Structure 1
Amino acid sequence: MIIKHLFLCFFLIGWSVSAFSQEVIQLYPGKAPGSENWNWTEKETNPFPNNRMLYNVSEPVLLHYPAPKDKANGTSIIVAPGGAFHILSIDNEGIRVAEWLNSLGIEAFVLKYRLVKSETDNPFATLIPLMNNKDKLDSINAPVVDLAKNDGIVAMKYVRSNAAKLGIDPGKIGFMGFSAGGTVTMSVMLSAAEEWKPDFIAPIYLYKKAVLGKDMPKKETPIFIAVATDDGLGLLAHSIELYQEWVAAGQPSELHAFEKGDHGFGFSPKGTTSDM
């Protein structure tokens, strides 16, 4: 019930943030397995006000946002931004989420997972046409989805293995993701060994078709799902299907389908019900 109410509050109350220190945690000691030959450099673009996008991510890391010591409650959440595995919406679906979680006393880790290489400095020029051909997009993304899933599992291993050092509860580690980040969230949940599965999850407007793995958790694992009914990518059905599967498995489940908000609302105020 605590987790259920936590995520209900996520969408029902206002929030204020303050800047907390950030640590960059390398997930692998050297080149990440499976992309040893990648030699391109991560880049940033700013197509929207106050919403930076990263692309060409080749070195997966965690951005650690510690909870203020006077508020820390032992709970932690790994946050995976979305972007169709071509970009990362690092502000709207990552850093702002982490800062808000900090304000609730929750330790946050933003996952920068590996992405498809962009051949130009305008990743949207390649991505937007592909959004109308999801089969082709899935084919291009498939090898990277597997790598991103691995990055998520390694992130879980790091946080749980270092719980004592981080001052967090190893049994209260959640995983939250938006869109493609939701795909990563569910792939981690369904692919990781039982000891590395998250304790609770929050896939937000996830793309379910690309999810990897089939191993449902053996322990009780609450899920909080949110999506806009008018999702422009047609992903409402993906959230409903996931909700039904979790209910059928006897797991604590909650689904919020907002009337309006389109796809990718994240933490952006849009004047729609998703602002709640």
Structure 2
Amino acid sequence: MITTYRISGQNFEIPLWSGHIPNYQKTDEQEIRDTTNIVRISKVQKPTIAVYLPAGKNVTRKAVVICPGGGYHILAYDWEGIDIAKWLNANGIAAIVLKYRLPTSRSNITPHKSPLIDAQRAMRMVRHHAGDWNIDPEKVGIMGFSAGGHLASTLGTHFDEELFTSDDPIDAISCRPDFMILAYPVITFSKPFMHRGSMEALLGKDAKASMKDHYSNELQVKANVPPTFIVHSGDDKAVPVENSLVFYQALKEKNVPAEMHIYSFGGHGFSLAIDKGHLQTWTQRCIDWLKSLP
């Protein structure tokens, strides 16, 4: 049974799964946390959501599930997770930081399935608890950074994909995001713009072309993909800006509402872009866009 929480202006962490974890096998692996300069988490064994709720008088009833990046090898948990949640809270938006399983762990049965299974469950959990957390279940979006942006865009394009069987009523709830926010996202696994490290971590070095296409999310856009906000820098040497360009073009072709901001500088992994000149304004552009949604 999932415990019910009703807390305003505070944060707490709960497990994604109350019993059996789909696509999981017990090994001797242990979760690793490196706190050298940012919190980096690897070898996730028990996925969780950390729930951050704004103070009652600030509530907009919107919510965002956040997928930190890290090349599908680690999670930049505070840099692209907790800090982002606090920024969203400051704008009256509930934020849910997803600690998802990484495909490089030996505890996965089928490695590429676990991140998406966890993202689907996170969306369902937020809608399940919407009344307790003062969230509108029809205003729940997904946000991702770098490889977390790949996971977010995978959920936005593969939300109807059935990856496991379940008799838990929570897993019958829709996991389609109401909107997507993608920051310097990995999108394509096609040459020449793919991020090889993320692709090999998710699918392996000998991945079939059909699997690469399946997870090249610009090829998976349909008319029911949610409205999308994209931010990237033109000088990104890790994940080329073309990842965002091809996704925006695919959205445009399917008449999916989309807004994209390309900054001339910033490199990769700029998070909130604190003290990075006008790049820091991307967060206000994102809030403006969120306010424009129905």
What range is the shorter-chain TM-score in?
0.7 to 0.9
Looking at structure 1, the residues matched to 19 and 66 of structure 2 have their Cα atoms a distance apart, in angstroms, of 23
2:131 counterpart SS class: helix
Establish whether residue 199 from structure 1 lines up as the match of residue 178 from structure 2: yes
- After TM superposition, give the deviation of residue 212 of structure 1 in Å: 6.5
Looking at structure 2, the residues matched to 84 and 205 of structure 1 have their Cα atoms a distance apart, in angstroms, of 12
Q: Calculate the TM-score normalised by the size of structure 1.
A: 0.77
Looking at structure 2, the residues matched to 163 and 118 of structure 1 have their Cα atoms a distance apart, in angstroms, of 31
Q: 1:88 aligns with which of 51, 75, 79?
A: 75
1:166 counterpart SS class: coil
Looking at structure 2, the residues matched to 272 and 36 of structure 1 have their Cα atoms a distance apart, in angstroms, of 46
Instruction: Give the number of aligned pairs.
Output: 233
1:64 counterpart SS class: strand
Establish whether residue 63 from structure 1 lines up as the match of residue 42 from structure 2: no
- After TM superposition, give the deviation of residue 142 of structure 1 in Å: 11
CA contact (8 A) 1:229 1:236 kept: yes
Q: Match of 1:275, as an amino acid?
A: Q
2:58 counterpart SS class: coil
Q: 1:164 aligns with which of 107, 120, 131?
A: 131
1:256 counterpart SS class: strand
Structure 2: tracts of 5 or more residues without a match: 1-8, 162-173, 190-198, 200-214, 282-294
Q: 1:110 aligns with which of 97, 114, 125?
A: 97
Looking at structure 1, the residues matched to 113 and 105 of structure 2 have their Cα atoms a distance apart, in angstroms, of 18
Establish whether residue 184 from structure 1 lines up as the match of residue 171 from structure 2: no
2:224 corresponds to which residue? 218
Q: Which string of whole-angstrom CA distances, capped at 9 and with x for unpartnered residues, describes residues 245-264 of structure 1?
A: 11111111111111111111
Q: Match of 1:79, as an amino acid?
A: I
Q: Which string of whole-angstrom CA distances, capped at 9 and with x for unpartnered residues, describes residues 212-265 of structure 1?
A: 77363537x210001111111142011000000111111111111111111111
Q: 1:78 aligns with which of 31, 53, 65?
A: 65
CA contact (8 A) 1:38 1:58 kept: no
Establish whether residue 232 from structure 1 lines up as the match of residue 237 from structure 2: yes
| CA RMSD of superposed structures (Å) | 2.4
- After TM superposition, give the deviation of residue 270 of structure 1 in Å: 5.6
2:11 corresponds to which residue? 22
CA contact (8 A) 1:63 1:111 kept: yes
2:270 corresponds to which residue? 265
Structure 1: tracts of 5 or more residues without a match: 1-19, 120-140
Q: Match of 1:22, as an amino acid?
A: N
Greater mean deviation of Cα atoms: 25-34 or 258-267: 25-34
Q: Calculate the TM-score normalised by the size of structure 2.
A: 0.73
